[in-house]
Structure 1
Amino acid sequence: MAFNPSEHQHLRYNPLKGEWVLVSPHRALRPWSGQVEPAPAEAVPAFDPNNPLCPGVQRSSGIVTPQYKSTYVFVNDFPALLEEGPEPAESNDPLFQTKSAKGTCRVICYHPHSNVYFTTMSLSEVVAIINEWIKQTQELGKKYVWVQIFENRGIIMGCSNPHPHCQIWTSNFMPNEPKAKDQHQKEYYEKYKRPLLQDYVKRELEQKTRIVYENEEWLIVVPYWAIWPYETLVLPKRQIQRFTDVDKNQKEMLAKALKVIVAKYDNVFKCNFPYSMGWHGAPTGDKFKESMPYWTFHGCYYPPLLRSATVKKFMVGYELLAQCQRDLTPELAASVLRQQPETRFSEAK
């Protein structure tokens, strides 16, 4: 029997992280009798007097959220990282090592209204969010080696507040995920003298099988090595190292791309598609002021839904004890997303 990647199990390599993922397409045929999540809520009021992210509402810290008109940024009331605090003594013991962990955590409210999101915002409102991401990266990147912008959308992803917002966690250390990407992009560049992700963009544009959306500046694909069912990678067609390198045209085209990818996600199962998303770029801070030509700035979307709006992919058992595994091939996932309209189902006329 000849091998068919759409039907037969196989391994795929992630050159960004040096990891393998098991692809098992035949498992998608099995019936599902496991956990079913509640359907994502659709109806959200524009203003809720009990929602602490709404303008004029008091937060649990006692601080009143101001009457903001666009984006609004504040220090997280319950941060995982603090700028000051006692430091542990470093140990040479190979089994019990501790290091200093300092940083700050911020929240960015995208919009004063709770009932809007990328798909229903104007292009200028999405550009304003991108400008805020860049501003925060520039400011915090002067002090910290890593600035992690991320968003959890939906209760399945642990987000209990429906107001459109994201978080920024900065740190004086390189976290595990970007550290692995830094290492493997550097090794690829030293070997081939070209940025890994720029070579990858070129190959995806040639093959076209995993492209979900593209415009003149950005490419969105289900990566060849995707783990999550409808995972996507947002890539620049022109090489940039950090968010702060994005120019005016790239901002506008990125805003269009973000509106489209979220609409496509929502259209798959006709719901507020949950996911975790975030941005990775070259490290920042005094130590990394120089150019790092092997780094390519990019965005990641990790959605858990697999079969419907209420059935998600679980990362358990084999995934936790061995390696990640997926049932839906990246090519099939890309085809499903590519075929979705670029306007959200609720906005279609």
Structure 2
Amino acid sequence: MSSSCVSSDAPHRRFNLLKGEWVLVSPHRNKRPWSGQQEAASAEVKPRFDPGCYLCPGNTRNNGVTNDDYEGPWVFDNDFPALLTDSPEGGTTGDPLFRAENVRGTARVMCFSERHDLTLPELPVSEIRKVVDVWAEQIEDLGARYDWVAVFENKGAVMGCSQPHPHGQIWASDFLPNEVTREDACQARHLAETGEVLLLSYAAAEASKRERIVVENDDWLAVVPWWAVWPFETLVLPRRHVLRLPDLTGPERDGLADLLKRLCTRYDNLFETEFPYTMGWHGAPTRAGLWDHWQLHAHFYPPLLRSATVRKFMVGYEMLSEAQRDLTAEQAAERLRSLPELHFKSKGQER
């Protein structure tokens, strides 16, 4: 830890500057035995193409629509979207005790490639670069009409993913969601008080301290953030001031593809499983306004704690008081950093 005034071995709290809230850290609890729920490890061998998969090229989905015979990333409108383009406009309940408002938006699904059997870290860097480009294109397209575009992936059944074909989602809305609103306020306040972009300063500080870095290259770094809640949570940050994914240069997109492969490979190698997580990009809102306080970043929230079958649950104290973790951010970073960059599935194999 950075400060000698706070013990890294005893219970302490860390402040999350990005969300304006505290996290309780209890390192001594790592010694406790575990006899609770264990998740099933991912051991399924998937085919390159699955004729029964709703997302594979040329297959027919539940609504009778036939998928394109695509190669590389492919995007289509979600058949069961959480947001609708034709919802009623405007309108609220008018009652301060029972507030509600109409919202509009859209949702899309993005298959990372035609391969049913290859998750993001198993794709070549050149193919991950195509994913980065499509993320940026989608933000530009939907951002022209909506205030916010959420680009995210739920990986693994443990994280609620019901379709094994590697894919992500893109939701656009005419409102700013809660998490974005909190990050916006904290970043704006930091710029007003210090004259500095919060996450740009934070990235520089992490690059200097080197305690929580997992992987890095010339344009990017991935760290277990000081305030991490999930056991092996990471924060992906560009080294220069960038508002949104479409603003990245060609070399920065190449660097991002490289970093994502190296980071996600470490995740899979940690317990030699297809490591589940929820990840997503946060960039400046796309509605009109001044957003210089924003810095592009991605969050990775993986639930696994002790093994491929033991996960972290956010219950009890976490739900009723505040977030709590046992493994320190520094310990988690060291474990991830020390892992090999060759994917465990590739040992002795050629793809």
1:204-251 CA distance string (max 9 Å, x none): 111110000110000100000000000000000011011111110000
Matches within 5 A, 1:15-26: 15-26=17-28
User: Residue 346 of structure 1 aligns to a residue in which SS?
Assistant: helix
Extract unaligned runs of 5+ from structure 1.
none
- For normalisation by structure 1, the TM-score amounts to 0.96
Unaligned runs of 5+ in 2: none
Match of 2:297 in 1: 298
| 1:35-74 mapped onto 2 (5 Å cutoff) | 35-74=37-76
Structure 1 segment 28-177 matched on structure 2, within 5 A: 28-87=30-89, 89-177=91-179
1:136 corresponds to which letter in structure 2?
Answer: Q
CA-CA distance at 1:39 after TM superposition: 1.0
Contact 2:136 2:245 in 1 (8 A): yes
Q: State the match for 1:7 in structure 2.
A: 9
CA distance in 2, matches of 1:129, 1:233: 19
Q: Supply the distance in 1 between the matched residues of 2:337 and 2:79 (Cα, whole angstroms).
A: 39
2:226 partner SS: coil
Distance 1:3 1:310, change over 3 A: farther
- TM-score, normalising length from structure 2? 0.96
Going from structure 1 to structure 2, the CA distance change for 1:248 and 1:88 (only over 3 Å counts) comes to closer
Contact 1:88–1:98 at 8 Å: present in 2 too? Answer: no
Shift of 1:116: 1.1
Residue 149 of structure 1 and its aligned partner are, at CA, apart by: 0.4
Deviation string for 1:75-114 (max 9, x for gaps)?
Answer: 0000000001235732342211111211000000110111
How far did residue 170 of structure 1 move? 0.7
Say which SS state the counterpart of residue 119 (structure 1) adopts: helix
Deviation, 1:4, is 5.9
Alignment partners' CA distance in 1, 2:62 and 2:94: 42
Q: Deviations over 1:164-204 (max 9, x none)?
A: 11001110000000110000000000011110001101111
| Residue of structure 2 equivalent to 1:253 | 255
CA contact (8 A) 2:87 2:102 kept: no
On the 8 A contact 2:57/2:114 being kept in 1, the answer is: yes
Q: Which residue of 2 aligns with 1:331?
A: 330
CA deviation after TM superposition for structure 1 residue 5, in Å: 3.4
1:308 corresponds to: 307
Q: Cα distance, 1:40 vs. partner?
A: 1.5
Q: What SS class does the counterpart of residue 325 from structure 1 fall into?
A: strand
Moved more, 112-121 or 11-20: 112-121
1:240 aligned partner: 242
Aligned partners of 1:216 and 1:89: how far apart in 2?
Answer: 48
The whole-number CA distance in structure 2 between the counterparts of 1:87 and 1:71 is: 33
Using the alignment, how far apart are the partners of 1:85 and 1:186 within structure 2? Answer: 31
Query: SS at the partner of 1:333?
Result: helix
Aligned partner of residue 345 in structure 2, secondary structure: coil
Q: Identity over the aligned pairs, expressed in percent?
A: 48
State the shift of 1:42 in Å. 3.6
Q: Whole-Å Cα distance in 2 between the matches of residues 192 and 3 of structure 1? A: 24
Is contact 1:42–1:272 with CA below 8 Å preserved after alignment? Answer: no
Alpha-carbon separation, structure 2, partners of 1:278 and 1:119: 16
The alignment partner of 2:346 has SS state of coil
Alpha-carbon distance in 2 for matches of 1:118, 1:97? 41
Structure 2 Cα separation of the partners of residues 238 and 170 of structure 1: 26
- Say if 1:198 and 1:296, in contact at 8 Å, map to a contact too: yes
Quick check: 1:343 aligned with 2:345?
Answer: no
Task: Tell me the residue number matched to 2:268.
Answer: 266
Structure 1 residue 6: Cα displacement: 2.9
Letter aligned with residue 43 of structure 1: V
Please list the CA deviations of residues 246-293 of structure 1 after superposition, one character each: whole Å capped at 9, or x if unmatched.
1100000000000000100011101100000000000003x23x5x22
The residue that corresponds to 1:218 in the other structure is: 220
Counterpart AA for 1:314: F
Amino acid at match of 2:19: K
